[in-house]
Structure 1
């Protein structure tokens, strides 16, 4: 079963207020996107990796990976939106023809590769798998500033990545979205479900935060500097 990891690092990270795209920021001495690449590069269950980067930073990304001894990663150009970046990556993957693809945000550098076998066992044609986190706060459904519902939080999950699908299934879902004029979806599972797929969830076995703001970055540094093995990497 050929499995690919598609790592999405095409955004600018404007909320980080940094001159660099956030994925190039050094987190405890190593670029954020490199930390995410290493999660999958270190797994015996992943056959190839595709990194999606803004076109102006393709050369820099390749140079950094080469300097760090990671020369087997394909680096391709992203798009204007996350959806377009993922689609570009999927089209490149189509030249390799994997059976399974794991789509991961480069801004989540703490996912544990020890969870990859569990995820792959659950993926079937028509069924994808999304890593999630249980909701610990009460969540309001609001319309025009007014609370209209308070969902049972035991039924709520925070979506994370990787999100894993059969390659043919998620490629077809993205193609259908493009044909239907959908251009700015931020979640691949949403597109997959819209294409008549189903999705099961698995809760992450480690903290798996997304680095979006300067506070997130500080918290990520604290995680690393505690010297505890939060990543659970092999």
Structure 2
């Protein structure tokens, strides 16, 4: 029996660091919005995946116009986002009626996630309850404090990406807890509920587009990656 799979795509960014008039998730990349590329990654990985797109209420009409303009055919359901990422993800989770199955939670502005990583995250979450995509640090790091700064061993740290994938019942239960400022991602919410976090290998291609420099890099990645698929 096939396990139900969901993907919650969170797209509530305002694009302040991008210095553009439209939010970063709607900026064109190779002729269509970044967000459409991101949604397609999950659909192409497994077309049976049920996709939930979380948008602020005031972006819904704009998105629907883009869907019509670009003749975007990937099936998806819209959930209305909240004032924080925590509230937005919870809104997406509330659209899922099942307690059994898997859900991948992904940033709308990470359009280069690969099928291999998506599959690995689902497989690992099915076995262990969760799977958090991460990569090793490339640069040296220092910890800054009120008294100065100190070198740290970068091999002991990881940069966390998305998707962050969970058994549905596990993450729904975790999101029943009150929101705190410590909850910067879904892994921190799951961990606060007593779950051990499992890391899986991500990719340096899986960038989060938040600045003009990121968009330039994305243009290079897109031409190289997608033209070869």
Matches within 5 A, 1:162-177: 162-176=163-177
Aligned to 1:229: 225
Aligned to 2:87: 84
Matches within 5 A, 1:33-72: 33-44=35-46, 46-66=48-68, 67-72=70-75
Q: Secondary structure of the residue that 2:219 maps to in structure 1?
A: helix
Asked if the contact 1:125/1:169 (under 8 Å) is kept, the reply is no
Aligned to 1:195: 193
**1:204 and 1:53 mapped to 2: Cα distance?**
25
Q: Which moved more, 1:60-69 or 1:70-79?
A: 60-69
**2:136 and 2:180 mapped to 1: Cα distance?**
28
1:130 aligned to which of 119, 129, 132: 132
Q: Which moved more, 1:57-66 or 1:45-54?
A: 57-66
State the Cα distance separating 1:206 from its structure 2 match. 5.6
State the Cα distance separating 1:97 from its structure 2 match. 4.7
What is the TM-score normalised by the length of structure 1? 0.88
State the Cα distance separating 1:183 from its structure 2 match. 5.5
Question: Taking structure 1 as reference, are residues 124 and 114 closer, same or farther at Cα in structure 2, changes over 3 Å only?
Answer: closer
* CA RMSD after TM alignment: 2.2
Q: Secondary structure of the residue that 2:41 maps to in structure 1?
A: helix
Q: Secondary structure of the residue that 2:176 maps to in structure 1?
A: helix
Aligned to 2:142: 140
Q: How many residues align?
A: 226
Matches within 5 A, 1:196-211: 196-205=194-203, 207-211=205-209
Q: Secondary structure of the residue that 2:38 maps to in structure 1?
A: helix
1:29 aligned to which of 31, 40, 44: 31
State the Cα distance separating 1:214 from its structure 2 match. 0.9
State the Cα distance separating 1:230 from its structure 2 match. 6.5
What is the TM-score normalised by the length of structure 2? 0.90
**2:98 and 2:60 mapped to 1: Cα distance?**
20
Question: Taking structure 1 as reference, are residues 143 and 205 closer, same or farther at Cα in structure 2, changes over 3 Å only?
Answer: closer
State the Cα distance separating 1:162 from its structure 2 match. 0.3
Q: Secondary structure of the residue that 1:186 maps to in structure 2?
A: coil
Q: Secondary structure of the residue that 1:123 maps to in structure 2?
A: helix
Q: Secondary structure of the residue that 1:92 maps to in structure 2?
A: coil
State the Cα distance separating 1:124 from its structure 2 match. 4.2
Aligned to 1:11: 13
**2:138 and 2:46 mapped to 1: Cα distance?**
34
Unaligned regions of 5+ residues in structure 2, if any? Answer: none
State the Cα distance separating 1:231 from its structure 2 match. 9.4
Unaligned regions of 5+ residues in structure 1, if any? Answer: none
State the Cα distance separating 1:3 from its structure 2 match. 0.8
